[in-house]
Structures are given as C-alpha cells and as structure tokens.
Copies of this chain bind each other. A is one copy, B any other.
Amino acid sequence: MLDLLANKWSALALGALEGGPQRFGSLRTRLQGISPKVLTQTLRRLEEHGLVDRTVYPAVPLHVEYALTALGRDACEPLAALRTWVEHNIGRFPVGAGVA
C-alpha cells in the first residue's frame, strides 16, 4: 500500500480529485507531465485498491468520471501533509536537487 500511496502520480492524482469528480482529460491537464498511459495505469491501480471510483456515463458521447471513495478521501490527509511539508521546506533542499 505504501508502494501505491508513496508514489508521486498517485499522490498527485488523489490530490487533484479532492476537488470533486473529474474526467480523464482534466486530470491529465492538472497532472503536468503525466502520459496518458501512466495516468491510465495510476487510475486503474487506485481503483483496484478502492481509493477511486470510475463511473461510465452512457451519454453520447460516452464519458467516464473518476471520483474519490471514502477511503480515497481519507488517504488524502497524510498525502496532503506530505505535499505541504515539501512545499514548506523546498528552500532547504540543495539547489539543483530537482523540485518535482
């Protein structure tokens, strides 16, 4: 589980979904630099682990939305604390140590 959560794209995807359900396209825009393939894999793993729900809307055109489950919402707390710690301490890291 730590493997899943202690993963940059999982952490950022869950964080992006804190604002409410979203489609694949808007998640891809928000998670800058993620490829469609990695986003698909990340969302599938989050879904398999019960952190994200995937709903298919049979409209025309068909569309899919991703939303946090209760478990996913709870996981956001320690992940947000980690993200906040990084943001608050970014200046303490050696210059050129990479910010991503």
Residues of A near any B CB (own CB < 8 A): 1-8, 10-12, 48-50, 71, 74-75, 77-79, 81-86, 89-90, 92-94, 97-100
Closest-by-CB residue of B relative to A92 is: B71
User: Which chain B residues lie closer than 8 Å to A83 at the CB level?
Assistant: 2
Q: Are B49 and A71 in contact (CB under 8 A)?
A: no
Partner of A81, one of B4, B7, B81: B81
In terms of DSSP, what is the predominant structure of the interface of chain A? helix
Q: Measured between alpha carbons, how far is A97 from B75 in the docked complex, in Å?
A: 15
Q: Measured between alpha carbons, how far is A4 from B74 in the docked complex, in Å?
A: 23
Partner of A1, one of B49, B78, B98: B98
Q: Are B50 and A92 in contact (CB under 8 A)?
A: yes
Q: Are B71 and A77 in contact (CB under 8 A)?
A: no
Closest-by-CB residue of B relative to A9 is: B6
